[in-house]
Amino acid sequence: MLHVLEPSQTAFYKEQQYIHAQGVIPGELLELGRSIIIRWVDETVNEWLEKGLITDPRTDLGFEKRLVQLWNDAGKPAYHRSPRRDLVGEEMYNFLRHPKLLDLAADLLGTDELSVHGIFNARPKLPDQKWTDTPWHQDAQYYRDAENVHVASIWIPLQKVTEFNSCLQVAPGFFTNTLLEGHTDEETHFIGLSKEDASQLEGLSVEMEPGDALCFTQLLPHRAVSNRSDAVRWSLDLRYEATPTATEAGKAQGFVARSLANPDSVDSLETWLSKWEGIPRGSY
């Protein structure tokens, strides 16, 4: 096991249920993440072109401005706020099993018998758009078979994030031993905590630089604050679990990514892709 975190950091994670790991994501991985996102943006823009909503794909615009500019030009059409199925392919497979991410997951989970959990997302967080504001929630509210199984979430921003452009907030010390009932948020329709439970939380904003990762357990309450900038806030969130205790929700579209005990058990790209057959594009 190659350690990414210091012993003091893993101890903090165990106690507080989160860790802001600074500078652990290499530049090559950030570039791969941007490449995956750019492909999805191209596909989204092409749909708007085909529908006649726009006439110019504006390839001159940068990574953080293109989607929001064209979304406004197109009349603010609906789009996939949490792409998952549309990201599936060789690039995403290589991203999820990048050695640095697996080393980080091994530190968090305490094992090199690692599986990628099948629930991962890209987050195109457009400015002043309530629809993409994730309310206070616990990740395991989306996969309740992880109530008593450690699933480590790794949230990776693809640019600097602050309270102004929608960093995450965490609430350590609240409900981290209890999976609460999920409530559908009236404004966003995301699953989250009830208003009564959310009112008890004291949020801690985690401002981050490119190359940082925010890691937390499946029970830690967290949310994204509003994006008040004029650019898209891009992020990818991934999950890992120990293979011997992997959940059914995780295994459904997940895969074995590392095993020192049985290297032949690691799933190939073809095996992973076969799990997505029959799931239509645009699925969340």
Contact between 125 and 132 under an 8 Å Cβ cutoff? The reply is yes
Q: What is the CATH number of the domain that holds 253?
A: 2.60.120.620
pLDDT of residue 216 exceeding 90: yes
Side-chain-side CA neighbours of 7 within 13 Å: the count stands at 0
Distance CA 75, CA 164 (A): 25
Asked whether the beta carbons of 130 and 187 are under 8 A apart, the reply is: yes
Give just the sign of the alpha carbon dihedral 50, 131, 41, 254: negative
Confidence (pLDDT) at 1: 64
Neighbours of 28 (CB within 10 A): 10
**33 belongs to a structural domain:** no
Q: Are 108 and 13 in contact (CB under 8 A)?
A: yes
- pTM of the entire predicted model: 0.96
What local confidence, expressed as pLDDT, does residue 187 receive? Answer: 81
Output the average pLDDT for the chain: 95
Could you list the residue range(s) of the whole structural domain that residue 226 is in?
7-25+89-267
Compute and round to an integer the Cα radius of gyration of the chain: 18
If one counts the domains in the chain, the total is 1
Is residue 83 within 8 A of residue 40, CB to CB? The reply is: yes
Q: Is the pLDDT of residue 251 over 80?
A: yes
In a domain, 272, yes or no: no
Query: Given this model, what pLDDT does residue 108 score?
Result: 98
Q: What pLDDT does residue 282 have? A: 78
Over residues 9-21, the mean pLDDT reads: 97
Nearest by Cα to 198 from 178, 221, 214: 221
Q: What is the largest CA-CA distance in the chain?
A: 55
- Give the whole-angstrom CA distance, residue 144 versus residue 134: 18
pLDDT digits (tens, 9 = 90+) for 134-192: 899 999 999 999 999 999 999 999 999 999 999 999 999 999 999 999 898 888 888 99
pLDDT: which is higher, 128 or 42: 42
The single-letter DSSP state of residue 156 is E
The DSSP call for residue 163 is T
HSE, side-chain direction, 13 A CA sphere, residue 178: 8
Evaluate whether residue 205 is within a structural domain.
Answer: yes
In a domain, 138, yes or no: yes
pLDDT band at 228 (very low <50, low <70, confident <90, very high): very high
Indicate whether 15 belongs to any domain. yes
The pLDDT score that the predictor gives to residue 81 is: 85
Residue 199 has a pLDDT of 94
The predicted structure's pLDDT at residue 63: 94
> Are 24 and 211 spatial neighbours (Cβ–Cβ below 8 Å)?
yes
pLDDT in tens, 83-123: 999 999 999 999 999 999 999 999 999 999 999 999 999 98
Instruction: Give 129's pLDDT tier (boundaries 50, 70, 90).
Output: confident
In a domain, 42, yes or no: no
Which among 71, 199, 179, 186 is positioned nearest to 133, based on CA atoms?
186
Q: Over range 246-272, report the average pLDDT.
A: 97
Mean local confidence (pLDDT), 213-227: 96
Residue 184 lies inside a defined structural domain of this protein:
yes
Q: Encode pLDDT of 47-97 as tens digits.
A: 999 999 999 999 999 999 999 999 999 999 988 888 999 999 999 999 999
Residue 66 lies in a domain: no
